[in-house]
Structure 1
Amino acid sequence: MIPLGSIVNALAIIGGSLVGCWLQSRFPERIRTIVFQGLGLCVLLIGFQMALKVENILIAIFAVLLGGVTGELLRLDTLFERIGNRFKKLIKSKNAKFTDGLITASLIYCIGAMAIIGSLEEGINGDPTILFTKSILDGFASIALAATYGSGVLFSFLPVLVYQGAMTIGASFFQQYFSEMMIAQVTACGGLLIVGIGINLLELAEIRLANLLPALAYVIVLTAIFG
């Protein structure tokens, strides 16, 4: 099965990123600064909206705490930074925010109910409508992100394509594990990570979000056991 929705989603990210990179070079520094801050506020709103969908807050708390400890022990931030720097060297980019853009955009596009539900819907029913809708949203988000971070955002199409595509192809297997409560818990936990992205964008604190990613695995396991 060809994951058409994920392919269209990836193309939308590429198209939006190219537009954003083109705009970036035409923005004066003060415009880039206010766009950066505005984007941070919008990301906070998205994160809070997702986080409030939590069904069992204790599970979410333990998932984030366990995920953070696991991520720190595995040094995931260093791993992702190395991967991002390899892409940076591959395209010979001099953009200092390349890796940050790649990781930030990947988190925003891959975490959320639309990515999960859309992939399962296409895989099970052959209907990519949800992912087409997500593609439009991600395309516009890519413009703003690429105008802020530059070319690193463009390469976020790779994890989106792999993550959503794999879920679509394996939908019949994944479906039994993703109940409404499971999706709500994963969305809420992902929302907390997106709130962290907003905090980083606004430079309120420096949160090593890559090290919190195992929280998404823990929330699935904990919800399956205790949910």
Structure 2
Amino acid sequence: MQHFPIGPFINAAAIALGGILGAFFGDKIPERIRTGLIPFFGLASMGLGIVSLPNVKYFAAVVLASVFGLIIGELLHLETRLNKLAGSVRGIVNKVFPSEGLSHEEFLDKYVALVVLFCISGTGVFGSMHEGMTGDPSILYIKTILDFFTAGIFAISLGMAVSTIVVPQLSVQLSLFFLATLIVPLTTPDMRADFYAAGGLIMLATGLRIMGIKSFPIANMIPTLFLIMPISYLWHTFIAN
């Protein structure tokens, strides 16, 4: 039975609304609150990453997939391509809604981190697949709450460009939602647990980047999410048993 994708649209609406409210009214929020919330969002991202790890089945497989995924991302220059796209988005949006206060490098660093957080986090990817199979959008509802406030705070400095992230966000989540009936039946609980853990590592890296502690090449880590379940299966079949 095919379900209507509720979660992806609710998530997109929260990002768009949060971005608009932050861009237009965010300057009315006291500076001390703004500066305090941004590190908290990084911390929340790390928290989501941490809670994704305890149920991992084969952590060695997760590490292996992460290494190969990062190598592939580096060879494909995913971070560079995403930076160029982010720069183009800023140029287009600034023609209508000028934004100031951040250097081009600072803008790209934060924008790329938000694209990963909103579009390809383990919570978003797994939540979309979960809803596609079961019709339960609860995982995406949790993500939506975080995304609304994150979009609002970051839009204060990034401007309306934050709201444009709903385009890739909807594309990714809807694609995974409709493909879930093909993907999930081919997986096992252990494979999904390892997938969630791999997404958790990316969420940890995203949090560290948002907090300004370490600027991991998050976009280059994306291929990990496509490699982890096959590698988890192979690890279970040929090494663990």
Relative to the length of structure 2, the TM-score reads: 0.79
Q: Report the Cα offset of residue 90 of structure 1.
A: 1.4
Answer yes or no: is the 8 Å Cα contact 2:123–2:143 preserved in 1.
no
Q: Report the Cα offset of residue 77 of structure 1.
A: 0.9
1:204 aligns with 2:213: yes
Answer yes or no: is the 8 Å Cα contact 1:68–1:211 preserved in 2.
yes
Counterparts in 2 of 1:20 and 1:87: CA distance versus 1, 3 Å: same
Q: Deviations over 1:150-186 (max 9, x none)?
A: 4333222122211111122233212213432222212
1:112 aligns with 2:122: yes
Q: Report the Cα offset of residue 57 of structure 1.
A: 0.6
RMSD between aligned alpha carbons? Answer: 2.6
Q: Deviations over 1:67-109 (max 9, x none)?
A: 1111111111110001111111111254544433432223223
**Alpha-carbon distance in 2 for matches of 1:80, 1:49:** 28
Residue of structure 2 in register with 1:223 after alignment: 232
Counterpart selection for 2:108 from 85, 92, 99: 99
**Counterpart residue type for residue 88 of structure 1:** R
Counterparts in 2 of 1:134 and 1:125: CA distance versus 1, 3 Å: same
Answer yes or no: is the 8 Å Cα contact 1:67–1:211 preserved in 2.
yes
Counterparts in 2 of 1:29 and 1:117: CA distance versus 1, 3 Å: closer
Which segments of 5 or more consecutive residues in structure 2 lack a partner in the other structure?
Answer: 237-241
**Counterpart residue type for residue 87 of structure 1:** V
Counterpart selection for 2:14 from 12, 15, 19: 12
Counterpart selection for 1:54 from 56, 79, 82: 56
Aligned residues: 226
Counterparts in 2 of 1:147 and 1:218: CA distance versus 1, 3 Å: same
Answer yes or no: is the 8 Å Cα contact 1:101–1:153 preserved in 2.
no
**Alpha-carbon distance in 2 for matches of 1:82, 1:196:** 21
1:141 aligns with 2:143: no
Which segments of 5 or more consecutive residues in structure 1 lack a partner in the other structure?
Answer: none
**Counterpart residue type for residue 204 of structure 2:** V
**Counterpart residue type for residue 166 of structure 2:** F
1:151 aligns with 2:160: yes
**Counterpart residue type for residue 13 of structure 1:** I
5 Å matches for 1:14-53?
A: 14-27=16-29, 30-53=32-55
**Alpha-carbon distance in 2 for matches of 1:140, 1:29:** 15
**Alpha-carbon distance in 2 for matches of 1:204, 1:125:** 38
Answer yes or no: is the 8 Å Cα contact 1:51–1:187 preserved in 2.
yes
Q: Deviations over 1:28-78 (max 9, x none)?
A: 655443333233223222222223332211011111111111111111111
Residue of structure 2 in register with 1:69 after alignment: 71
Residue of structure 2 in register with 1:82 after alignment: 84
Answer yes or no: is the 8 Å Cα contact 1:36–1:148 preserved in 2.
no
158-167 or 109-118, which deviates more: 109-118
Counterparts in 2 of 1:181 and 1:153: CA distance versus 1, 3 Å: farther
Residue of structure 2 in register with 1:160 after alignment: 169
